[in-house]
Amino acid sequence: MPVFDRAVVSIPGKQRYGLTPFLAPIVVHASAGETGGSFGAWDTITPPGKGPAEHMHTRESELFRVIDSTYHFICGDDEFDASPGTFVALPPHVPHKWWNIGDGMGLMMGMAAPGGCEQMFLDIAAAGSSDPSDIARIEAHIGVVNAETKALGFVEPTGPERVPFPRAVVSFPDIARRIPNGRGGYGILHATADETAGAFGAWEGFPAPGAGPTWHTHTRETETFRVLAGTFGYWCGDDYFEGGTGTVISLPPHVPHRWQNVGDTPGHVFGIVAPGGFERYFLEIERRNATTAEAMLAIETELGIIDSGLGEQIEAGHR
């Protein structure tokens, strides 16, 4: 598998499209082949009343962030409505389904860790077939268990399994956890590694114009950001990208990077790390009441984050 050593960028107007098993369009932002297998990311575009039949993933955990319309989720014994701003993480080995219960077109960002599930959408589009048996064969290939794949003789693989988190993790916008961001503002913490068996950490931030972290390097996790409002610049190694609402950028570990709200208005970003763990940064800032650069640097060091002077040298070379 190719090495993940450069940012993967998905900008509106320059995106790849696939199809869901129920033949709705989907935008693939990043694939396992591009992220060293760590995750895949996509947008699902869902007509009213549509969604997948009940199914179960045998390899990956999933997360969704609802952007437009309202979705109804069933996961095991849990059932709930998810309006815009709701975050949902779904475990492997637990049957689930969801559908758009709103009157308009729905939009959710989705992600799976480890990656691979996103290839299903590209393969269904490439096959050019609406035959349920053809689609079921593609689903079985990536380890999805449902009525159609069972009819083809596919069963859940046996053997050692990573321990799943037993229930959906849900963060509703009206009761989401507020957290300090260490720069005088607040964000929303949606999910932690402890809640998702290590698969994800997820949060949202609202950076002011000009705000953003200094150059740094993650030694453990990949990061993905979706711009929900505003315009952001991302520096990653020798690359620079700028994108507005709808842009999705995935940043590799072990490569110096930084990002900044380069617009004139407050921004809004959805952030995910895979595997989870870095989201503890916000919890530790709150627990320790960390307000100085020294205190925040100590937290970063504990979490495997390296403040990198190399980054400033790279940026100076761009001037």
Q: Prior bond to 95 cis, omega within 30? A: no
pLDDT of residue 182 exceeding 90, the answer is no
Strand, helix or coil for residue 135:
helix
Average pLDDT for residues 115-123, to the nearest whole number? 96
For residue 165, pLDDT beyond 50: yes
Provide the β-strand partners of residue 192. none
CA angle 4, 255, 189 (to 5 degrees): 90
Helix 132-141 vs helix 118-127: angle between axes, to the nearest 10 degrees?
150
- pLDDT tens per residue across span 67-88: 999 999 999 999 999 999 999 9
Q: How far is CA 61 from the centre of its chain?
A: 11
Which of the four pLDDT bands, split at 50, 70 and 90, describes residue 296? confident
Spatial CA neighbour of 93 closest among 41, 44, 56: 56
Coil, helix or strand at residue 149: helix
Q: Is the pLDDT of residue 312 over 60?
A: no
Q: Is the dihedral of CA 71, 134, 34, 96 positive or negative?
A: positive
β-pairing, 96-100 vs 25-30, is unpaired
Q: What domains does the chain contain, in order, with CATH numbers?
A: 8-151 (2.60.120.10), 176-318 (2.60.120.10)
Strands 186-191 and 201-205 turn out to be antiparallel
Sheet with 232-236, edge to edge strand ranges: 239-243, 232-236, 257-261, 216-218, 305-307
pLDDT for 162: 55
pLDDT band at 315 (very low <50, low <70, confident <90, very high): very low
Confidence class for position 155, pLDDT limits 50, 70, 90: confident
Across 23-32, 153-162, 228-237, 240-249, least confident range: 153-162
Check whether the bond before 275 is cis (ω within 30° of 0). Answer: yes
Instruction: Report residue 158's pLDDT band, with 50, 70 and 90 as the boundaries.
Output: low
How much is the pLDDT for 3? Answer: 84
Q: At what angle do helices 293-302 and 280-288 cross, to 10 degrees?
A: 140
Taking the C-alpha atoms of residue 10 and residue 157, their distance in angstroms, rounded to an integer, is: 33
| Cβ-contact 137, 123 below 8 angstroms | no
With residues binned 3-state (H G I as helix, E B as strand, rest as coil), the percentages for the chain, rounded to 5, are 15, 35, 45
Q: Mean pLDDT score of the chain, rounded to an integer?
A: 92
Q: Residues 184-214: pLDDT tens digits?
A: 678 999 999 999 999 999 999 999 999 999 9
Residue type, 21: P
Q: What is the pTM of this model?
A: 0.93
Q: Residue 34 and residue 91: Cα distance in Å, rounded? A: 23
Q: Which amino acid is at 150?
A: K
**3-class SS of residue 284:** helix
- Mean pLDDT for 241-257 is 96
Output the CA torsion 217→223→228→234 (10° steps). Answer: 40
Q: For the residues 220-233, what does the mean pLDDT come to?
A: 97
Instruction: Tell me the backbone φ, ψ of residue 63, rounded to 5 degrees.
Output: -135, 155
Angle subtended at Cα 164 by Cα 78 and Cα 157, rounded to the nearest 5 degrees:
110
Rounded average pLDDT over 14-24:
96
d(CA 57, CA 60): 6
Q: Is residue 55 scored above 70 in pLDDT?
A: yes
Is residue 272 within 8 Å of 281, Cβ to Cβ?
Answer: no
pLDDT band at 308 (very low <50, low <70, confident <90, very high): low
